[in-house]
Structure 1
Amino acid sequence: MLVSTTNFAWTLGLAPVVRAALYDTVIQTPNGPVQGYPAFNSSPAHMNLTNWRDVTVWKGIPFAADTSGENRFRPPQNVTAWNTTFDAKNYGLSCPSSGTTYATIGEDCLNVNVWSAANSSDDKLPVVMWSYPAGGSNADPRFDGAGMADKGIVFVNYNYRTGPTGWLVSPELTQENLASINVNSSGNWGMLDQFAAVQWIRDNIASFGGDPDHITVMGQSAGSAATYHILNSPLTKGKIVGAIIQSGVRDPYDPLATSLAEGYQTYDVSEAYGASFMESVNCSTVACLRQLPMETLDVSAMPGTTSASWKATLDYYCMPDTYLNTLELGLANDVPVMTGNTKDENGASYGLNITLATYLSDLNSTYAGDYVNRFFAEYPANDSASASAAENAQFTDRSTVGTHFWAQYWLSKKTSPVWTYLWDHAPPGQTAGAAHMTEIQYTQNNLYNVYYGQWEDEDYQIATTMNAYWVNFIKHGNPNGEGLVQWDSVSPNVTKTQELGNNWGPMPIASSSSQIELFKEWFPTLSAI
């Protein structure tokens, strides 16, 4: 229900439709009334935002209860409803171990921000939920959703628990879960937060002019892992219509799939890591942990550990199975997927300058037996310059080829299409090239916030195109649209991906078919996750 302060004029006994920006109203949500604010005071320079006057932002709305005290290491609990109007002017707290510098840290951190250009709660605009990368926060200006909202999307970002409060596994917590929710596992509290944010959108977003039956989930790096788990989990079945996974999925046999953000741990590894943590803080019981000061739990990793970390656990509850089995058994939500990588990430480094000896050493540490020579033959080098180029080419191809192979697994069991890409544009003011995270602001159309160097004309042009692909996918489940270079979905017999950034259009996933075949042969010799 929309509660408006506008006076209604009645003519001939009929009420005309009154449309105004939602910041001119107090809106009613299932948890209580909320007041939003204009996202812009004036039209942002260079941005061509045609609906900027209508964009409302609501910040810091709780989607679950405070996670401190007895709520530590529990699934997110229902928030207590409020009667007075919630003033959604300021960002809420960010969770412990998030590493953010954009918000105050605290355990009452499960909150959402919403951007919408709807003029009525009846508009039913498509919705996207953004999951941020490691070290992030929903207060980070790179994840501001007003530029996306300008294009007719309701944009939601949120916080989730990480570090020990997000991932701790212990036998005692498992017994608690078994008694309270009949689940014989623990951990994945942060993942449950992610799922709860999806449910909050389904329950509340109509009040903000969004369509609760049209939710696309989107994230980058650790946020892409969140998106992947939402895509895969039986706990989110039927709740989403699409997924955008940025710097995420790859062939499940690729060893990088275990070490990058989307990696997870087996239950025994997480349980042992949890026991080590409890010993390090002198606690033998969960009750002790729940009494500790928050600062004691505000850690991202334990010193001296390398084989385990605070991350997702294969629990067969939130995560239904291994990545490989989930693909081969077709367990995930059958929805369209858009996924890809940036050119200078996952082992590839812009401006790399290594010796031939270092390159050969890297090959020997990565591959085994005859594969060392075979990869050297496909990615040859004879001096420092060629060694640096070969190392980068090998890692970039490993991403594009591996993502293509992931799509093939997906298509073997699903009817929904997959679009893949490689981002290759380097923002100004930095020296890492088309590095990890550099595509985010372009996709979200928020270059009015300067994070890198001062944006140039080409950056605004690139953002317009990138955002158009993303908006089309969120609205229609397909990135293509008028005025855009055609982006073909993955098909079994075409080994192409889409170049985005410096150029637009199809590009090969590797320089030669023999390189693709070598990866295809090498991956299955390894252990899948």
Structure 2
Amino acid sequence: MVYFPLLAGLAASRLVSGAAIYSRANRQVTTSYGTLQGGVSELNSNVNVYKGIPFATPPTDSLRWTAPTSPAPWSGVLNATTFGADCPQGASEVGIFTSGNTAISEDCLYLNIWTPANATATSKLPVYVWIYGGRFELGSGSVPTYDGTHLASKDIVVVTLNYRMGPFGFLAHPDLSVESGHNASGNYGLLDQIQASTFLRSEIAAFGGDPDHMTVGGQSAGSASALDMMYSPLTDGMIVGCIPESGARGIHDPETYTLATSHRDKDAAEAAGVEFLSTLNVTTIAELRNLSMETLLEYNFNSDTVLVGTAFENVSAFMEPPAWRPVIDGYVLPHNYGQSLSLNAHSDIPILTGNNADESGSSPSPGLTLDTFTTQYTEMFGNLSTRFFDLYPASNDSNANTLSNEMYRDLSRTSTWDWATAWYAGGAKSNVYVYYFTHSPPNQTEGVYHGAELWYAFGNIPTYYNLTWTEQDYALQEQMSGYWANFIKTGNPSGGNLAEFPATTSDAKQAMWLGETTGASYLTPGDDKFSFMQDFFAQQIEF
């Protein structure tokens, strides 16, 4: 595997010449840290974009595994027309979750801003802060899928950011906890996201944004991060809405532990950190900080102390969660998710969340035989298996696959409602809006795959991939980006000429179908399946 460190001297090369400053003065913005020279979006000349804005001091050398701090001011004019380096990860081609950026560096804490060209420091436009996914292992704010141009054209200031991942972002260790001053470690990636939001609170007005109206969103690990920001007391009063895509799931759903929504408790995380040092043949954090970025990336760490519960063991998890993930550390995250909801110990803000048809267990090609179907779900559902086979009665290999998908889709939708029910039961007053995405993008065989909704929510379907987009795709793009824009502006996705998007409540067991058809629909095709899923969740541990 090849890695591409950021070339030395990049920061110096980003100071633009006087001639460039003069000719592009209308896209200069002055912040508390210095002046930036932005550019025009390649997709819409009515949107300006500012790339590679430093929001923290580079977390390198002795600052590796420390909380981020404010960036140093710069003199001159900083060239903000190119993205900063991606945070440490394996090299990748450009894709739905990856940028193809060949610049990989620990000096990676940069953010990017898309804003209407006519925005001024007094515009006070709503702000949307996007956190990328990738199982806390890969991704960046420069991924083309997340280009903010289309949403910015709807009078929104869109921000994407980088954060530390893998061991750089989520290593806990007893010595790091002592060093922190908060007796906590392991959430450096989340602290990066919070630092970016803190930076934006003080600087976003210069780009036309309203510092008191910031919505945070993300997908997959970014969804988990957006929820963690909502759960964290460090963001109190900072955000007004949350859009976790794939998505908020119930606190008794085994998939919650499987996905990036998983976490580790502090003791287990620190024990894993001790083991990590041991396997690298170092004994101190100082020695660990002296190891190269490449050495840490190349070591594929997987520890039994990381995972509590395996597939179908008390059904606490369907599979192993990400090796590196957030920690219930008592500081960034004081409580687990169930406790946060029951105590109402979180920001009480509107939520727009949901899932896709072919993720979280469902797939166009599950590859099950009838025998495997019978064995697997007897084990999974235990004393509920007779009811399961009555509700999902497979008789051959073909309908075993179909019914397996139906079960996982029913489970997914019921799980999100279960989370919403816990939200309201704990005392939260803000609405939860739940979508269910059912449209398969063209020219592929993976169905409505994990991340398929991103093209449509961001409004980027025709931009970077040579796919055969149809009129239906374009119409769905306008519909979904319209719902997202409404929510970012008002905390309610309904508005304009769009069909009403109702809230999900304890009594309203519904989600908004978006895709082949649009409209609110019951979570499962019948109360019997809904009741079955509730009884299954009732037997699981609280997460």
TM-score after normalising by structure 1: 0.91
Match of 1:34 in 2: 36
1:400 aligns to 2:417 (yes or no): no
CA distance in 1, matches of 2:208, 2:24: 9
Match of 1:419 in 2: 433
Match of 1:14 in 2: none
Alpha-carbon offset, residue 185 of structure 1: 1.5
* Cα distance change on mapping 1:218 and 1:22 into 2, 3 Å: farther
CA distance in 2, matches of 1:98, 1:216: 30
Deviations 1:438-467 (A, max 9, x none): 000100012242347232222111101110
CA distance in 1, matches of 2:298, 2:200: 29
Amino acid at match of 2:157: V
CA distance in 2, matches of 1:112, 1:406: 31
Quick check: 2:272–2:306 contact (8 Å CA) kept in 1? Answer: no
Quick check: 1:97–1:299 contact (8 Å CA) kept in 2? Answer: no
Match of 2:223 in 1: 224
Match of 2:129 in 1: 129
Counting aligned pairs with the same residue, the percent is 36
Alpha-carbon offset, residue 351 of structure 1: 3.3
Match of 1:467 in 2: 481
More moved, 393-402 vs 519-528: 519-528
Amino acid at match of 2:126: P
Quick check: 1:169–1:186 contact (8 Å CA) kept in 2? Answer: yes
SS, match of residue 345 in structure 2: coil
How do 1:275-424 residues align onto structure 2 when only pairs under 5 Å count?
275-299=274-298, 301-302=300-301, 307-308=306-307, 309-368=323-382, 370-412=383-425, 413-424=427-438
CA distance in 2, matches of 1:205, 1:317: 26
CA distance in 2, matches of 1:90, 1:344: 35
Amino acid at match of 1:36: G
Deviations 1:341-398 (A, max 9, x none): 0000000001334211111122023222x21111111111111121111100111111
Deviations 1:58-78 (A, max 9, x none): 111110011110110000122
Alpha-carbon offset, residue 481 of structure 1: 1.1
CA distance in 2, matches of 1:125, 1:23: 22
* Cα distance change on mapping 1:170 and 1:129 into 2, 3 Å: same
Q: Aligned residue pairs: how many?
A: 495
* Cα distance change on mapping 1:222 and 1:72 into 2, 3 Å: same
Deviations 1:195-245 (A, max 9, x none): 111111111100101100000001000000110001111000010110001
Quick check: 1:22–1:118 contact (8 Å CA) kept in 2? Answer: no
Q: Which runs of 5+ in 2 are unaligned?
A: 1-17, 94-99, 308-322
Paired residue for 1:149, among 140, 147, 152? 152
Alpha-carbon offset, residue 304 of structure 1: 7.0
SS, match of residue 473 in structure 1: helix
SS, match of residue 127 in structure 2: strand
CA distance in 2, matches of 1:98, 1:329: 39
CA distance in 2, matches of 1:100, 1:189: 23
Match of 2:510 in 1: 496
Alpha-carbon offset, residue 278 of structure 1: 0.9
Alpha-carbon offset, residue 299 of structure 1: 4.9
Amino acid at match of 1:216: T
Match of 2:318 in 1: none
Match of 1:9 in 2: none
SS, match of residue 142 in structure 1: helix
SS, match of residue 500 in structure 2: coil
CA distance in 2, matches of 1:73, 1:374: 49
SS, match of residue 298 in structure 1: helix
1:198 aligns to 2:197 (yes or no): yes
CA distance in 1, matches of 2:298, 2:31: 35
More moved, 84-93 vs 95-104: 95-104
Alpha-carbon offset, residue 118 of structure 1: 4.5
SS, match of residue 507 in structure 1: strand
* Cα distance change on mapping 1:460 and 1:105 into 2, 3 Å: same
CA distance in 2, matches of 1:173, 1:229: 21
Deviations 1:288-340 (A, max 9, x none): 11111111122584157595411111112111201111011101101100010
SS, match of residue 537 in structure 2: helix
Quick check: 1:350–1:433 contact (8 Å CA) kept in 2? Answer: yes
More moved, 308-317 vs 21-30: 21-30
Match of 1:265 in 2: 264
Match of 1:82 in 2: 74
CA distance in 2, matches of 1:34, 1:467: 29
Deviations 1:397-432 (A, max 9, x none): 111001001101111211100000110000012111
Amino acid at match of 2:69: Q
CA distance in 2, matches of 1:54, 1:249: 35
Match of 1:18 in 2: none
Paired residue for 2:445, among 431, 434, 444? 431
SS, match of residue 197 in structure 1: helix
SS, match of residue 45 in structure 2: helix
1:64 aligns to 2:78 (yes or no): no
CA distance in 1, matches of 2:126, 2:168: 32
* Cα distance change on mapping 1:475 and 1:100 into 2, 3 Å: farther
* Cα distance change on mapping 1:95 and 1:458 into 2, 3 Å: same
Amino acid at match of 2:56: A
* Cα distance change on mapping 1:452 and 1:443 into 2, 3 Å: farther
Deviations 1:137-177 (A, max 9, x none): 11110011111111111000000001111011111111111
More moved, 99-108 vs 516-525: 99-108
C-alpha RMSD of matched pairs (Å): 1.8
CA distance in 2, matches of 1:304, 1:520: 33
Quick check: 2:233–2:332 contact (8 Å CA) kept in 1? Answer: yes
* Cα distance change on mapping 1:409 and 1:222 into 2, 3 Å: same
Amino acid at match of 2:392: Y
Amino acid at match of 1:393: E
Quick check: 2:268–2:305 contact (8 Å CA) kept in 1? Answer: no
* Cα distance change on mapping 1:516 and 1:452 into 2, 3 Å: farther
CA distance in 2, matches of 1:219, 1:161: 15
TM-score after normalising by structure 2: 0.88
Paired residue for 1:164, among 162, 167, 175? 167
Alpha-carbon offset, residue 268 of structure 1: 2.0
Amino acid at match of 1:131: I
CA distance in 2, matches of 1:111, 1:280: 32
Quick check: 1:22–1:56 contact (8 Å CA) kept in 2? Answer: no
SS, match of residue 514 in structure 1: helix
Quick check: 1:430–1:452 contact (8 Å CA) kept in 2? Answer: no
How do 1:237-276 residues align onto structure 2 when only pairs under 5 Å count?
237-276=236-275
SS, match of residue 399 in structure 2: helix
More moved, 473-482 vs 374-383: 374-383
